[in-house]
Structure 1
Amino acid sequence: MKNILICTDGSNYSHEACLYGAWLSQQTQATISVLYVTDIRQFEIPAVADFSGSLGIQPFEGMVSQLHEVEEMKSNFVKEHALKTLKDAGVEESQITFHHETGLLVEVMSDYADVADLVLLGKRGENANFATEHLGSMLERVLRSVDQPCLVTNRKFEPLQKLAIAYDGGASCQKALDYIASNEPFRSMQVHLIVCVEGHKEDQASQRLQEAESTLQAAGLFPKCQVLSGEVETAIADYVEQANIDLLLLGAYGHSRIRELLIGSTTTELLRSCRVPVLCFR
């Protein structure tokens, strides 16, 4: 792991993402890029017009100019806060770069994520206190669009000691196995390997578990293995809580949007219900 990308909006969750980024950087000596994206949609004339009524085009232009000034001030605040958080957590200033872009986060992310080994972003954003059971509005779109592993951080930073891999035999879960086997911070943790019975027979679940266990053992890791039963989301979330897991790894959004529209997404439900960081792989 050489490069870590942290997405921030200045919220409390972004602060915790910086702490996790600092912790990982200290384990790996990775450099950190902090990215703040100003949403370009707030500068569009129709949005301003809806807000200001029929004032004419000149007031619109004045308001847009003022919005740009406010955003520049906010960017400076976000930068100052992020750099202070990282440096206070022990990251050298020479390892940190800050970037401010204007656009849509999902589109801007593609340029920055390509050179990152890990992407960090908070589970919720600026409106977390007003929508405590909802995920950030851009979170799902980012997770679906970025090929790099994405660590979705929780409300309060805790050093990572125990991780669990929710394994389903898919290609994304295989990526998760390879990732922890090749990155030292994860190799030093206690590893739990879990498979849920729902959706396939118990003997199939056991076979998948054995295959994943063999992969990890070949890399010098010896996980604690567990077959769970019941509804996938509930069983995994309960195990994470009962086993005091610090980090959950899973394959993200393995089904089509149409299927998820009808029966829901396991990834989204686990992100919502688990109180620990979730490392997602596509």
Structure 2
Amino acid sequence: MTQVMACIDGSQSTTAVCDYAAWASQRLQAPLTLLHVLDELQYPNTTDLSGSIGLGSREHLLDELAQLDQQRHKLAMEQGRLMLDAARERVHADGVEPAQLRQRHGDLVDCLHELETDIRLLVIGRQGKTSDSLSQLVGSHLENVIRTLHRPILVSCGEFKAPQSYMLAYDGSPTAQKSLQMIADSPLLKGLPAHLVMVGADTADHWEQLKSAERQLQGSASEVHLSICAGEVEPTLHQYQTDHGIDLLAMGAYGHSRIRQFLVGSTTTALLRTSTTALLILR
């Protein structure tokens, strides 16, 4: 796990992705790689039309269509290279020099899985290139990336704002405990005020869990605020975040068992869909 990797796709979220990636690279003191993956479904290397009705005997037409596909693929690759060049200029303006450029052709999830051992933190936008705006939409690949990649993922959900504080959704579970330890051990959020928020019953046992978690952040967070809130998880966390002006929400991702994956997965997806600030997804 050696570098911050940012997915660049030309969508409206690309600028914020560059800025968050530059911020993370500087905080972690890790090199930055900008990655563009050309979707093999939209831009196949070759297309076999020999079985199409009415085309089998028209070899000249098949040749022309194949040449058009090749030209379209070539232009898409060139467009990707231009996007990467522009992204490198952006992160350079943010103070990161140099940034490595990588371009792949294939499926985004497969490509990231192949590169996983090189990734310390992945930065990706909530919306993909096919989204029309920075609305509350989750990109088609994002959930699969989160489920597949066993690395921290920083998701940009709007315009960039350098985090000045963060909130960890904490429930005392092994997943939350692992997320807490990852934060405590990483320089990414070191020195920032932390809010540990539990949604549930206001009990002595829950307060003890929060106080134990607070002790783990000593030496990492500049200050730690503890809170237990009642209500539905998603709106309650968002309301707390708004009330306290918190810039980043950190949380564990999907569980491994089928039941836990459904429950935690649905909450994670809902928060991804409705968040107006960046999310740090921890695996």
Task: Give the RMSD, CA atoms, in angstroms.
Answer: 2.8
Whether the aligned pair in 2 keeps the contact of 1:240 and 1:274 (CA below 8 Å) is no
Q: CA deviation at 1:58?
A: 2.7
Structure 1 unmatched ranges of 5 or more: none
Other structure's SS at 1:76 match: helix
Q: 92, 116, 121: which is aligned to 1:118?
A: 121
Distance 2:172 2:83 in 1: 40
In the other structure, the counterpart of 2:27 is: 27
Q: 1:119 to 1:128 in 2, by over 3 A?
A: same
Q: CA deviation at 1:264?
A: 7.0
Q: CA deviation at 1:170?
A: 2.6
Q: 107, 111, 115: which is aligned to 2:110?
A: 107
Structure 2 unmatched ranges of 5 or more: 57-61
* CA deviation map 1:156-215 (0-9, x unaligned): 011111100001223332232222222234121111000010xx6744432332231222
Other structure's SS at 2:79 match: helix
Indicate whether 1:188 and 2:191 are aligned: yes
Q: 1:72 to 1:66 in 2, by over 3 A?
A: same
In the other structure, the counterpart of 2:282 is: 281
* Higher radius of gyration, 1 or 2: 2
Whether the aligned pair in 2 keeps the contact of 1:162 and 1:245 (CA below 8 Å) is yes
Distance 1:43 1:92 in 2: 31
Distance 2:37 2:221 in 1: 40
Distance 1:183 1:217 in 2: 13
Q: CA deviation at 1:27?
A: 3.0
Other structure's SS at 1:117 match: strand
In the other structure, the counterpart of 2:59 is: none
Whether the aligned pair in 2 keeps the contact of 1:2 and 1:28 (CA below 8 Å) is no
Distance 1:210 1:224 in 2: 10
Q: 55, 66, 69: which is aligned to 1:64?
A: 69
Q: 164, 178, 181: which is aligned to 1:178?
A: 181
Paired residues, what number?
A: 276
In the other structure, the counterpart of 2:271 is: 270
Indicate whether 1:17 and 2:17 are aligned: yes
Q: CA deviation at 1:221?
A: 5.5
Matched to 2:207, the amino acid is S
Whether the aligned pair in 1 keeps the contact of 2:197 and 2:226 (CA below 8 Å) is yes
Q: How does 1:63-82 map to 2 (within 5 A)?
A: 63-82=68-87
Distance 1:97 1:186 in 2: 24
Once the two structures are aligned, what percentage of the paired residues are identical? 32
Q: CA deviation at 1:53?
A: 8.4
Whether the aligned pair in 1 keeps the contact of 2:104 and 2:111 (CA below 8 Å) is yes
Whether the aligned pair in 1 keeps the contact of 2:13 and 2:134 (CA below 8 Å) is no
Q: CA deviation at 1:12?
A: 2.1
In the other structure, the counterpart of 1:164 is: 167
Indicate whether 1:149 and 2:131 are aligned: no
Q: Which moved more, 1:60-69 or 1:244-253?
A: 60-69
Distance 1:21 1:214 in 2: 29
Q: 89, 96, 114: which is aligned to 1:91?
A: 96
* CA deviation map 1:223-249 (0-9, x unaligned): 100001100111011111111111110
Q: 1:45 to 1:76 in 2, by over 3 A?
A: closer
Q: How does 1:121-140 map to 2 (within 5 A)?
A: 121-129=124-132, 132-140=135-143
Q: CA deviation at 1:120?
A: 0.4
Higher percent of residues as helix: 1
Matched to 2:94, the amino acid is A
Matched to 1:77, the amino acid is L
Distance 2:231 2:31 in 1: 42
Q: Which moved more, 1:4-13 or 1:135-144?
A: 4-13
Q: CA deviation at 1:37?
A: 0.6
Whether the aligned pair in 1 keeps the contact of 2:12 and 2:134 (CA below 8 Å) is no
In the other structure, the counterpart of 1:240 is: 241
Q: Which moved more, 1:135-144 or 1:114-123?
A: 114-123
Distance 2:54 2:38 in 1: 26
